[in-house]
Amino acid sequence: MHPAPSVAALRFAELEARLGSRARALTARKWLFGRGALGGRITGLSAKPGAALLAEAPLPSFERVARQVAPDGTTKLALGFPGATVEAVMIPGRGRSTVCLSSQAGCTRACTFCATARLGFTRNLSAAEIVLQYALAAREAPADAPARNVVFMGMGEPLDNLDAVLGAEAVLMEPPYPRLSPAHVTVSTSGVVPGMKRYLREGRGRLALSLNATTDALRRELMPHTRTWPIAALLGAIREAQAEDPAKSVFVEYVLWDGVNDSDAEAAALVALLDGIAAHVNLIPHNPVAGLPFAPSPVARVRAFQKRLADSGRRTIVRWPKGAGIAAACGQLANQVPAASVS
Ligand code: SAH
């Protein structure tokens, strides 16, 4: 199915063609990715070309269902699109903030530790809906820390909706504006080999593989829907791409669960698995999800695990939880909004 054109997903050349000049196309992009209201007219454009563009290629219809702000400034938006509610998160950083985007409403992957999995699957989002999430969440970033970093780590499996994800990242990276750096766009996957191969070929951002276990037996227990592709096949796809283009570095994500996958032996096994692969490791202490029998590894265990990796020469970062109190962290997006927090 070919999605209807939307101003949010049109490439710059198409905007230019429809509006008749580069300056107008830039004005339309600045309206979309600026700070002003995304109302019924394109601010800064004379009425006629702007109205014609919005008539032919409207913004996706959306509603801001909720907005929650955590004490650390992390802001979660619940956005209602036709037949689908999704969440996008703005995480303030020093000099640069991060926006975490959803690629699907719900998810088909039934990861046992993730709150989104329990929603089931509603539908794929369009490229325009993904770009619009960015545009709205980026408006929440502090003025001195614009949202120049994007991670597809919200709801959904991006590689199950890869056409839309590639379309959205192309718009977000496109010059002259907003021109995000490919180094600052990350697409995170539960591990879908055909999609990984395609993203490694066609995608311009960085792939992040949610490995989460060092044996197929444990990985199948935690992420049952990924049983089609054993760890060797997942890492094989990365090795293959890096053999062709050694500059294609990736991230490997590894959620740490107390007593499940956080032993020194598992750290050593992870080091061995990644041998010869150019990858930075992101360790994510489990973010609690009510009703799920998982606990985050204790801080000292996280540090010990990280040290093992670092001692082997592996660049390893711990993603300590952000957005406490508003369920905005990895794996916690489940469209649950306390009524009192809507603003
Ligand atoms: N489906 C994609 C992107 C969404 S999940 C994927 O699986 O990568 C984004 C990251 O959050 C993944 O690395 C996933 O392993 C992690 N995650 C999921 N649930 C989590 C939880 N409860 N605590 C911490 N990380 C979690």
Q: What domain range is 21 assigned to?
A: 1-59
* Whether residues 42 and 129 fall in one domain: no
- Are residues 4 and 126 in contact, defined by beta-carbon separation less than 8 angstroms? no
Cis peptide before 298 (omega within 30 of 0): no
Specify the CATH number for the domain of residue 233.
3.20.20.70
* Whether residues 162 and 206 fall in one domain: yes
- Are residues 267 and 309 in contact, defined by beta-carbon separation less than 8 angstroms? yes
160: helix, coil or strand?
helix
Structure tokens at 10: 């049109």
Q: Which distant-in-sequence residues (6+ apart) come within 8 Å of 321 by Cβ?
A: 285, 287, 329
Q: What is the DSSP string of 297-338?
A: PPHHHHHHHHHHHHHTT--EEE----STTTT-STT--S----
* Whether residues 19 and 130 fall in one domain: no
Closest residue CA from atom 9 of ligand 1? 153
256: helix, coil or strand?
strand
* Whether residues 53 and 141 fall in one domain: no
User: Comparing C-alpha atoms, which of 298, 29, 19 is closest to residue 177?
Assistant: 29
C-beta neighbour count of 252 within 10 angstroms: 25
* Whether residues 54 and 80 fall in one domain: no
Catalytic residue from among 87, 129, 253, 266: 87
Q: What is the pTM of this model?
A: 0.96
Closest residue CA from atom 19 of ligand 1? 331
pLDDT of residue 342: 46
Q: What is the DSSP string of 7-69?
A: TTT--HHHHHHHHSSHHHHHHHHHHHHSSS---SS-TTS-HHHHHHHHHHSPPPP-EEEEEEE
Question: Rounded distance, CA 102 to CA 97, Å?
Answer: 17
CA of 320 to the centre of ligand 1 (A): 13
CA of 259 to the centre of ligand 1 (A): 18
* Whether residues 192 and 110 fall in one domain: yes
Beta bridge pairs of residue 284: 255
C-alpha to C-alpha distances, 123 to 8, 76, 135, 248, 264, nearest whole angstrom? 19, 20, 21, 30, 40
Q: Which of 113, 150, 280 to mutate to test the pocket of ligand 1 (most atoms within 8 A of CB)?
A: 113
Alpha-carbon Rg for the chain in angstroms = 20
Question: Rounded distance, CA 340 to CA 329, Å?
Answer: 20
pLDDT of residue 147: 98
pLDDT of residue 40: 84
* Whether residues 197 and 300 fall in one domain: yes
Q: How many residues does the chain have?
A: 343
Which domain-ending residue is among 59, 86, 109?
59
* Whether residues 89 and 21 fall in one domain: no
* Whether residues 227 and 105 fall in one domain: yes
Ligand 1 atom closest to residue 331's alpha carbon, by position in its atom list: 19
Which domain-ending residue is among 36, 59, 82?
59
Closest residue CA from atom 3 of ligand 1? 153
Q: What is the mean pLDDT of each run of 10 residues along the chain (343 residues)?
A: 86 97 97 93 92 96 96 96 97 97 96 94 98 98 98 98 98 98 98 98 98 98 94 98 96 98 98 98 95 96 98 97 86 74 46
Phi and psi based region of residue 225 (left: phi greater than 0; alpha: psi -120 to 50; beta: remaining) = alpha
* Whether residues 49 and 93 fall in one domain: no
* Whether residues 199 and 226 fall in one domain: yes
Residues with a CB atom less than 6 Å from ligand 1: 109, 113-114, 153, 157, 188-190, 210, 212, 253, 255, 284, 286-287, 289, 330-331
Which residue in this structure is represented by tokens 């001692």?
Answer: 311
Judge whether 114 counts as a catalytic residue. no
pLDDT of residue 322: 86
E strand or H helix at 209, and its extent?
strand 206-210
Cis peptide before 176 (omega within 30 of 0): yes
* Whether residues 18 and 72 fall in one domain: no
Number of independent structural domains in the chain = 2
- Are residues 211 and 238 in contact, defined by beta-carbon separation less than 8 angstroms? no
Which domain-ending residue is among 42, 59, 76?
59
